[in-house]
Amino acid sequence: MFDNGYFDWNATSPIYPEALEKYIDVSAKYFHNTSSVYSKGAEAKKLLNLSRKECASILKTEEKNIYFTSGATESNNIIISSLRNSISKGTILVSEIEHPSVLRPVMELEKYGYTIEKLKVNEKGIVTPESLAKKLKKDIKLIAIMLVNNETGAIQPIQKLVEVTKKYEQLINKKIHFHCDIVQAVGKIEINLKELNINSAAISAHKFSGPKGVGILYLNKNIDTIYKGGGQENNIRSGTENLPAIVAMTKALQISTSSIASYTKIAQTIKTYLYKEIEQLKKIKIISNNDENYSPYILTISPVGIPSEVTLRMLEEKEIYVSSGSACSANSKKKDNYVLKSMGLSKEIIESSIRISWGHSTTLKDAEKLMETLKNIIKENDFLLKIK
Ligand code: PLP
């Protein structure tokens, strides 16, 4: 079923057969509109709310805080763009390593009278609580910091960052909205929304082997969204709910989160194997560390001197698929990897960087094949390598 050479799980992941089955089943049996008042509509609505209940329970929050959306891009945009309506403007603090679905709507807010300030990361790609503390000021309306970075796998210390924010809130006697993109964390590391103590979070199902085009917005307060329509999802996200996708996503969430312990063990074995092999080669710059501050599912490296496109093409010849950066930003004209740049990495390192990411069905054998192919590429292009 799964593609063994697929090492681009941060871009998207294959759907679980059980989730696909749900999708097909619900599409056929429950096609009625969840807003229809007759019994078939009510049945569909019941299923929708069962999914909400299950997602809330898995993510450790209440049902009323779960809103179904078309994915993280929409979830991020709902929160950020809602600030356009606000009468009192102020400052937005955003980490410079956010996904474009956070950074771009935040930058838009400038047009609405907000001041945008970027939070820098350290050389490990992490926003430290100290650096956040220095940036806090009275007029801050929103702080947006992601949990796991999609390019490097760096895990941000969200709980500590929230603690710093809460202390400051007490000092100024005012609330600050804390938003967190948790896309690359769900189904991979334990998520407890209650403990995270944030106001909102964005989730996409296709990153944890659910269907594409469906996701969750977690939100624990009231906001005035700029999107208006039929009033579904308690007016936070109008539009007919994609019930088959929502039920399938719930299935994927159940499977992935209940298997986290066993998945992590395999993922960590793969990471340690790749890390050690690459380290031993002594010719490749390793960007993602192999410690608890990084996701066990991603390794970003740079065979400095060999352009990313060359490595990508040579791997593809052997049916191995990796990425040279974010697939989501590959559409933008300016292809500089701002995440790696923010870590202080040189243009040379960035231009050769490749992102290897895997998932629950990847085996050590798949990683061994990847490694063997990578070693051959290094050998063939030795003359280009900058680290000898
Ligand atoms: N946030 C992060 C960290 C991502 O990696 C992605 C997709 O790559 C998104 C948001 C956007 O997700 P989607 O395209 O499903 O809306």
**pLDDT tens digits for the chain (388 residues)?**
457 999 999 999 999 999 999 999 999 999 999 999 999 999 999 999 999 999 999 999 999 999 999 999 999 999 999 999 899 999 999 999 999 999 999 999 999 999 999 999 999 999 999 999 999 999 999 999 999 999 999 999 999 999 999 999 999 999 999 999 999 999 999 999 999 999 999 999 999 999 999 999 999 999 999 999 999 999 999 999 999 999 999 999 999 999 999 999 999 999 999 999 999 999 999 999 999 999 999 999 999 999 999 999 999 999 999 998 644 445 554 457 999 999 999 999 999 999 999 999 999 999 999 999 999 999 999 999 998 7
Residue 11 Cα distances to 32, 78, 155, angstroms: 32, 22, 17
Q: Which of 189, 327, 328, 384 is catalytic?
A: 328
**Separation of 62 CA from ligand 1 center, angstroms?**
24
Ligand 1 neighbours (beta carbon < 6 A): 71-73, 99, 101, 146, 150, 181, 183-184, 204, 206, 328
Look up the pTM and report it: 0.96
Contact 217, 75 (CB under 8 A): yes
Q: Cα torsion for 263, 268, 269, 275, to the nearest 10°?
A: 150
**Catalytic residue status for 180:** no
Q: What residues contact residue 384 under an 8 Å CB cut-off, 6+ apart?
A: 305, 306
Given ligand 1 and candidates 68, 106, 183, which is best to mutate, with the most ligand atoms within 8 Å of its CB? 183
Q: HSE (CB half, 13 Å, CA atoms) of 212?
A: 4
